[in-house]
Structure 1
Amino acid sequence: MTTGTVIFRILLALVLLAPIPFGAYRPWAWSLLGTLTGVLLVAWAVTVLRGQAHVTLTLRHLWFVVLPFLAALAWAAAQTWGGLPVGWHHPLWADVDRVLGTGMGRPAILGSVSIDPEMTFNALLRLLTYGGIFLLAAQLCRRRARARAGLLAVILAQLGYAAYGLVVHFSGVERILWFEKWAYVGDLTSTFVNRNAYAAYAGMGMVCCIALFMDALKHMSIRRGRMFDMAETVLIRAVPYLLAAMVIGVALLLSRSRAATVATGAALLILVLCALWAHLVRLRTAMASALAVLVIGFSALLLGGEGVAQRFSDGITDRTREEIYRLGLAAVEDSPLAGHGLGAFEPAFRIYRDSSLTADPIIDLAHNVHLETLMDMGLIGAGLLYLSFAAILAVCAWGLRNRQRDQIYPMVALSCAALIAGHGFVDFSAQMPAIAMTLAFLLGIGYAQSWQTRVARPAADTEEEEPTGPVPAASHNH
């Protein structure tokens, strides 16, 4: 077993095990995962320096992703620095200085853009973790076998978490692992605390299942004399993914999350449209896939959709979130460029909350990832961060359209990104480390498999496929 394979398997284990400790939404959990990711990055770099691995995506293939991402991280770090102009500092620091001032013309407190530099530093570490996972996945998954293994492993893990959630739910035991549930009693949350977070995570699993289902069907033939081959393809190669999608779909619906249900449906539609756009499947296969998705959805609805259907019938008005959005926009208007500090939403928002929010004593998340990012990082940091994401998605879309093989990976990346981004308009699933790590891993695979390939020169661990350009030429595909 090569060093690269060992690093890949450890990376895979980190991503797949991340949901166990409450979606890794605990300081000890994400800190441990971040540390281990850093160790893997160092190990991979040492392996490359020793000539035991091959860098298949060089700076030429990554600079338009890496540079804006690093610039966004640099801005987040600068938000904790007291050396920026005082006019950029959060106004609360001036109030603190007036109270604790020395009276000698010197500030007693060295302020910063961030209202809480420690929270900003912690959020910065989490972003570094996600970036490290993306980079490792992009480098290690140039091998088709690793990309396939990664996608299959995600499905198996999703199936395991769904099965665990279903067993706990139907047994009537209101527990997460060995802890008594303290929130969302009666809803399926698997190893997550929040039902919306688990539902978004399960949605990514459904996208992966349906993508592999369509991939299995793409070579199906119904010509005379080939009915046996068609039956083998459907029953042995395709149907297992459909059954896995149904199990995960039932678990998703039993979470009773309306937003994640809608976001998953939209992501599956995007998946089918991507398959058509890339000519991965014929129109009749796409229609068959869409019909299969509808059958799965209807079956899952019959098995576990009563709760979420009731929530839809109750209406979707949420006055609390509307007020949070209103006050969050006011915070953005007060500091549109600099922001209030990455990850420092809770203390920053506390200044703006008013009597319209009396039910919740603590509001630590905006329930809108995009609004919170804009409030935290300002137009500067948020713009750079989203530019990096846009570059990843642009390469995936380019590869999806132009590659002649393995389009399934950029297709999954685009659909899962749409799911989490869409869900992020009304909730905070993207801020769950386990979900962000899984998405970063899938984006890395999709990015790696979006480039034109050429078999690398033989070396110790260089069976990778070298990228030769963003648009694959048909003559270079194998």
Structure 2
Amino acid sequence: MASSQLTGAGRAPRRRDILGRVSAAIVYLALATPPFLFGSREATTIAAWCAILGIGLICAPVRRLQKNHLLLLGGLFFVALCFAFVLHEQLSDRPWIAPFNPIWDKASEVLGKHLAPSVSIVRGEPFFALGLPLANVLALTLGLIVGSDTDRARRGVKVMAWAGGGYALYGIFGLLLDPSHILWREKTAYIGSLTSTFINRNTAAAYFGSCAVVWLVLLMAAVRSRLPRGKVVWKRMPHNLLVHAGGDVLIRFAMLFVCLSAMFMTNSRGGVLISLTVLIVTFLAYFGRDLPRGPGIVGVFIGCIVGGLVLMQVLGGNIGRRLDLQGFSDEGRLSVYRSTLKIIADNPWFGTGLGTFDHVFPVYRSGDISMWGVWNVAHNTHLEFASEMGIPLTIVVGLAWTAAFVVLAAAARGRRRHMAVPLSAFGVALIALLHSSIDFPLQLAGYSIVVFALLGLGLSQAALRREDRGRPALTG
């Protein structure tokens, strides 16, 4: 009898351990594989990711969650609840408070028959566009839960870094050996620019810039571990690295160089400039306490900028030429932003409906925009979100992002050996948000799922009590 009780008691931890391993494996999968199938653009691929991440969430262990994790999950639940409310109003035949879009009355008048009205300008479209936001929320939630295990969180950062290095090597060799194909498909756009497994070079630039940030954090951690304890003596840094540099430092430097090379070979102006800026911010955040104060910090900042310009000249000659010829923005993009602001002004509370931008934009398209080309996205994810979902929800999501950055920044000021995961998440999320202000990388699942999974790991590690960050992993 006692033996059977012990056996039964032992099964529960083993079962929890198996489920924990499954959920961790799915997080690693979400950090490594979304870019593979052409950036996971297809609706069926996104649906598959929702199913996989949902399984991971069902298996995810919650025993290690602390009070701060529950607060973060509560905040995420509140944002999801606000999103669900707006979605209900857009899809319902009887919305609670939202007025029907007046376009339905105009259409009924023109057609001479009554059409059932809707808050969304395209009936049912918000339901079909729900896949990507759902996948992002699932990835973020799963990352939050799995990231409560320090070992698994750190392993997840390395999985993303190595996967990015692999995609970068494929993109470089693919551009050199067979520039007319992406995997087994013929490449129809951005010929001569590296896109790796992505279709769009700007999204590829944001992804490889994000991977470069993670490799930089890993490299700085390896370098700092080789230096003597105490304040860094910068004059002795070259000597210490030459004498004490190990294989891990050399490997991480090589992979950083590979990701940077791939990023520059995309020829994306915005992606490269934003990534270089965030790389500088990440370096200053990691070594900030060791930098000289007063005029010295200005010299360090200028040195970082000069280093970035040198990299631009050596690796990004095509980008420099594009900047000389086209400036910092494509013609017509500012006009698109103004037209999108008009959409927001006419639909401020509940928007035009999730996924309806390409349907409504032709009505508001400015005459300043060339008739050539189809603008199916606003090239500013924040403005497009506001136009589709309304200003109040946009404010809620903006406050949530602000809170996330505050939590990550606070953790990045702690002990350096615990900074890798939160600082990596901070840098990658900053690239994603800044680049989404001039383009649409967060609207592509192959990039956004990676960002939100890493963000979940970073927030989870930031929420851990300081005394728990260095503890070995527990099973279950």
Q: TM-score range by the shorter chain?
A: 0.7 to 0.9
2:420 corresponds in structure 1 to 408
Separation in structure 1 between the aligned mates of residue 291 and residue 151 of structure 2, nearest angstrom = 25
Which of 223, 227, 234 aligns to 1:217? It is 223
Matched, 1:339 2:351: yes
User: How far off is 1:209 after superposition?
Assistant: 0.7
1:430 corresponds in structure 2 to 442
Give the match's secondary structure for 1:209.
Answer: helix
Separation in structure 1 between the aligned mates of residue 434 and residue 78 of structure 2, nearest angstrom = 25
1:368 corresponds in structure 2 to 380
1:9 corresponds in structure 2 to 25
Structure 2 residue runs of 5 or longer lacking an equivalent are 1-16
Equivalent positions of 1:176-195 (< 5 A) are 176-195=182-201
Equivalent positions of 1:302-451 (< 5 A) are 302=314, 304-316=315-327, 317-402=329-414, 405-451=417-463
Equivalent positions of 1:36-115 (< 5 A) are 36-44=52-60, 54-56=64-66, 58-84=69-95, 88-99=99-110, 102=113, 108-115=114-121
From the superposition, tell whether residues 34 and 292 of structure 1 become closer, same or farther in structure 2 (CA, over 3 Å).
Answer: same
Separation in structure 2 between the aligned mates of residue 137 and residue 417 of structure 1, nearest angstrom = 14
1:65–1:391 contact (8 Å) kept in structure 2: no
Give the match's secondary structure for 1:84.
Answer: coil
Equivalent positions of 1:17-36 (< 5 A) are 17-36=33-52
User: How far off is 1:347 after superposition?
Assistant: 0.5
1:367–1:426 contact (8 Å) kept in structure 2: yes
User: How far off is 1:82 after superposition?
Assistant: 2.5
Out of 108-117 and 406-415, give the one that drifted further: 108-117
2:148 corresponds in structure 1 to 142
From the superposition, tell whether residues 91 and 226 of structure 1 become closer, same or farther in structure 2 (CA, over 3 Å).
Answer: closer
Give the match's secondary structure for 1:217.
Answer: helix
Separation in structure 1 between the aligned mates of residue 173 and residue 348 of structure 2, nearest angstrom = 47
User: How far off is 1:454 after superposition?
Assistant: 5.2
Give the match's secondary structure for 1:186.
Answer: coil
Give the match's secondary structure for 2:209.
Answer: helix
RCO higher in structure (CA 8 A, sep ≥6): 2
Separation in structure 2 between the aligned mates of residue 82 and residue 410 of structure 1, nearest angstrom = 44
From the superposition, tell whether residues 11 and 442 of structure 1 become closer, same or farther in structure 2 (CA, over 3 Å).
Answer: closer
2:260 corresponds in structure 1 to 249
User: How far off is 1:197 after superposition?
Assistant: 0.6
Structure 1 residue runs of 5 or longer lacking an equivalent are 103-107, 465-478
Give the match's secondary structure for 2:349.
Answer: coil
Separation in structure 1 between the aligned mates of residue 240 and residue 380 of structure 2, nearest angstrom = 48
Out of 135-144 and 219-228, give the one that drifted further: 219-228
What number of residue pairs does the alignment pair up?
446
1:168 corresponds in structure 2 to 174
Separation in structure 2 between the aligned mates of residue 171 and residue 146 of structure 1, nearest angstrom = 37
Which of 156, 162, 165 aligns to 1:159? It is 165
Give the match's secondary structure for 2:439.
Answer: coil
User: How far off is 1:401 after superposition?
Assistant: 2.6
Separation in structure 1 between the aligned mates of residue 217 and residue 302 of structure 2, nearest angstrom = 11
Separation in structure 1 between the aligned mates of residue 323 and residue 238 of structure 2, nearest angstrom = 43
Give the match's secondary structure for 1:314.
Answer: helix
2:175–2:192 contact (8 Å) kept in structure 1: yes
User: How far off is 1:463 after superposition?
Assistant: 4.5
Separation in structure 2 between the aligned mates of residue 397 and residue 131 of structure 1, nearest angstrom = 21
Give the match's secondary structure for 1:158.
Answer: helix
- C-alpha offsets along residues 261-298 of structure 1, whole Å, 9 cap, x if unaligned? 11101111221232245x4x5559x9999979976874
Structure 1 vs Structure 2: percent identity of aligned residues?
A: 25
User: How far off is 1:14 after superposition?
Assistant: 3.1
Out of 268-277 and 57-66, give the one that drifted further: 57-66
2:210–2:431 contact (8 Å) kept in structure 1: yes
RMSD: 3.1
Out of 262-271 and 287-296, give the one that drifted further: 287-296
1:76–1:124 contact (8 Å) kept in structure 2: no
